[in-house]
Amino acid sequence: MTVLDHTGHFIADEPAARRALEALGFAVTPVSVQSVPDPETGGRKPTGTGNICVMLEEGYLELLLHTADTELGREFRATLARRAGLHLLAFGEADAEARHAALSAAGFAMRPLARFARPVETETGEIMARFTVARLERDAMPEGRVQFATHHTPEALWQPRWMAHPNGARALRAALIAAPDPDAAAARYAALLGRPVVAGRIELERGALEFMGEGEAATLAGAQVDPGRSALAGLRIAVADLADMERRAAACGLPSRRMGDALAVPFDPALGGGFWLFEAG
């Protein structure tokens, strides 16, 4: 079983990103700093990044920030220097270690299996949220970091207090990829996931990937997201009321347009280039 677990924005200004999300009616978690086991000391050492999150009933949105001068931290800063925005796509798996082995055997370039953790405050005290992550090698996919994750402590992330969003947001329905050749981009992910492309979409057990041309994405985002390069460009989010989202977008000074049964809204600049597609549900 493979699901759309989360996406990741790379951000430079955490307070500004938090304000932008809250203004649209999202509840945002506190900052959390990620770490990995230190083989020399037996303790933990920083990965170089931390995050804030928008937790949904189905999936979540991660917003990553720089926290330490490590290899991963330097990689993060180099990517952020090119552009802020969506650079991470994570699929949920029951066994990321098995997925890592299967993809390696199939010839995909993989990084070593990673076991991440980060402290998370709960209403009864701090616990460590733990993950096993199978990551493709850097630049294996032009969209950014693509990975498969297993959550060992889902209760640490999906806390009811962070899932009550004023805008009624409920689910991450799809990640939208814009490319000069959307058919070629879709074929890459079909090979990775072992799933067919139907009408520009790859369906998962929960969530989906959608593929579009650069021009269409630029119209929705208000500008090209990453000219000449395949990129994560948008997020399809289920919310309670489209009229309410339209009012919230207007109050933020963000233009919106109805797209059939969805409402397209460009990201606030603090979140980088891209767009939301809100749908009722």
Q: Please report the sign of the dihedral spanned by the C-alpha atoms of residue 252, residue 253, residue 259, residue 261.
A: positive
Q: What's the CA gap between 63 and 48, in Å, rounded?
A: 14
CATH fold for domain 171-280: 2,3-Dihydroxybiphenyl 1,2-Dioxygenase; domain 1 (3.10.180)
* 154-209 confidence digits (pLDDT tens): 999 999 999 999 999 999 999 999 999 999 999 999 999 999 999 999 999 999 99
Q: What is the mean pLDDT of residues 22-49?
A: 84
Q: Are the C-beta atoms of residues 64 and 49 closer than 8 Å to each other? A: yes
Look-up of token digits 């900052």 = 31
Decide whether 3-162 matches 171-280 in CATH topology. yes
Domain residue spans of the chain? 3-162, 171-280
Q: Helices (DSSP H) in 194-278: which residue ranges?
A: 214-221, 242-251
Of 14, 7, 57, nearest to 32 by C-alpha is 14
The percentage of residues in the chain with a pLDDT greater than 70, rounded to a whole number, is 98
Average pLDDT, the chain: 94
The architecture CATH gives domain 3-162: Roll (3.10)
* 78-135 confidence digits (pLDDT tens): 999 999 999 999 999 999 999 999 999 999 999 999 998 888 888 888 888 899 999 9
Q: What's the CA gap between 193 and 156, in Å, rounded?
A: 28
